[in-house]
Structures are given as C-alpha cells and as structure tokens.
C-alpha cells in the first residue's frame, strides 16, 4: 500500500524537536555519577529479585524514521505516554511488559502509534541509586487513524511485529520510588492492514522503525 511520496526537505522540516530531546536524554544517560549520591549506599536496595516495579512514561517522544514512514506517509514526530511493569526473576534479570502510545500527524490527519512490548531487562546492579539497564524484547506495533485520510475517508490501521531495544537508567530517590529515563529503537515491519472494513496481508512489508525517548516515575514493591 502506498499513500504519497514526499521530498527530503519536507521530512527534515518535521523534526525540530529531535536534537533537543534526544541530545538531552543521551547526555543524562552518560553523566549519571552514582558516587555523587554515595550517602544513599546501603539504603537503596540493589537486588531486584522478587520485586515488582510499575511506572508511567510521561512525557514520551517518538520519531518515526523508517523508509516507508518517510516515503509514503510524511509522518511527524509525536508525543505521548506509556505504562510499564516488571518483575525481578533474578538480581540482574527482570521480565517487563509495557503499553506505549504517541500521537502523530500524517498529511493533516491525526494518527496514533500504539506499541505493546514484552521482554527481558538486564540491570547493572550496584549500591548506587543510579541503576543503568538494557532491555530487549518483542514488540507489536499499530499505526492507525479514525479520521478521514486524504480521499480515503475511512478507518486505517497498519499492524507489524518486530524487536525493541532499549538503554536507560533508573534513579532511586527512596527505596521504593524512582525516576526512569529510556532511549529506545524499534525495528518493525508492517505486514497487515485494515482499510475501512477490508482486511489484507500486505504483499510488501512496510518499514516502521521508530526512535523514542521517555522520562517516567515508578514504584517498587517486594512480592516475596
């Protein structure tokens, strides 16, 4: 399915917030010296085994940049939120699940980018309140609109599957409450579409890669 082709200039014009948001996020990830908060050593629990964590990603920034986003949709950058939960399988390994959503504009129409993610989170455990981590897992992604799109005037949804890779850091203000910062890269190919009431498998998959960043607030509670 092809919608329209845009120029490189049109694509570049829709990315003014990218440098500010992602540069700030990457700087924070690279400059979190745990020794500054050494006074909290022994107070912040380093073990995640048997602990559940829930958090809200707000605000969340997403930049779609897959080839088909650029060539066919001219989709703008978007803002949204997310909900997450994780469970500590071991001191360094957590199973996490997340539901994420951002709002975007495609040729003047409002679209939603919805992601469901489940994966493993590797925590670099230490006594510092700063707890960096890596995450990798499966993702299901939908791009949809209820608004009239161009001449279609119908409901449109693209559905794809792929992999979400994440790097981030949790900063524990207390033993239970923390701030989380994440930068993520989603590799997704759309293979299924709904156009109005017509459902179809796409003969050629569409590239739906997304780069995103978010800041959130979370809560940790022991389960056993």
CA-to-CA distance for 84 and 55, rounded, in angstroms?
Answer: 5
The predicted model scores a pTM of 0.76
Average pLDDT in the 176-204 region? 90
CA-to-CA distance for 3 and 77, rounded, in angstroms?
Answer: 18
Q: Please tell me whether residue 137 adopts helix, strand or coil conformation.
A: strand
Domains of the chain, each with CATH number or no CATH? 8-222 (2.40.160.20)
Which pLDDT score is estimated for 3? 44
Q: Which of 102, 103, 167, 160 is nearest to 132 (CA)?
A: 167
Does residue 21 carry a pLDDT above 60? no
Does residue 30 carry a pLDDT above 60? no
């Amino acid at each position: 399915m092809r919608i329209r082709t845009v120029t490189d200039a049109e694509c570049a014009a829709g990315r003014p917030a990218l440098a500010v948001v992602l540069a700030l996020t990457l700087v924070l990830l690279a400059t979190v010296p745990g020794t500054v908060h050494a006074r909290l050593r022994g107070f912040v629990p380093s073990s995640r085994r048997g602990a559940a964590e829930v958090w809200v990603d707000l605000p969340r920034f997403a930049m779609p940049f897959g080839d088909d986003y650029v060539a066919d949709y001219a989709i703008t950058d978007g803002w949204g939120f997310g909900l997450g939960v994780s469970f500590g399988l071991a001191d360094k390994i957590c199973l996490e699940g997340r539901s994420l959503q951002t709002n975007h504009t495609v040729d003047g129409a409002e679209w939603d980018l919805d992601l469901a993610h489940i994966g493993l989170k590797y925590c670099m455990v230490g006594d510092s309140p700063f707890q960096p981590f890596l995450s990798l897992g499966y993702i299901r992604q939908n791009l949809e609109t209820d608004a009239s799109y161009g001449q279609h005037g119908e409901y449109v949804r693209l559905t794809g599957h792929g992999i979400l890779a994440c790097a981030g850091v949790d900063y524990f203000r207390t033993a239970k409450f923390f701030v989380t910062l994440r930068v993520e890269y989603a590799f997704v190919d759309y293979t299924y579409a709904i156009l109005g009431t017509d459902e179809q498998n796409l003969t050629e998959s569409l590239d739906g890669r997304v780069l995103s960043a978010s800041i959130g607030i979370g809560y940790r509670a022991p389960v056993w």
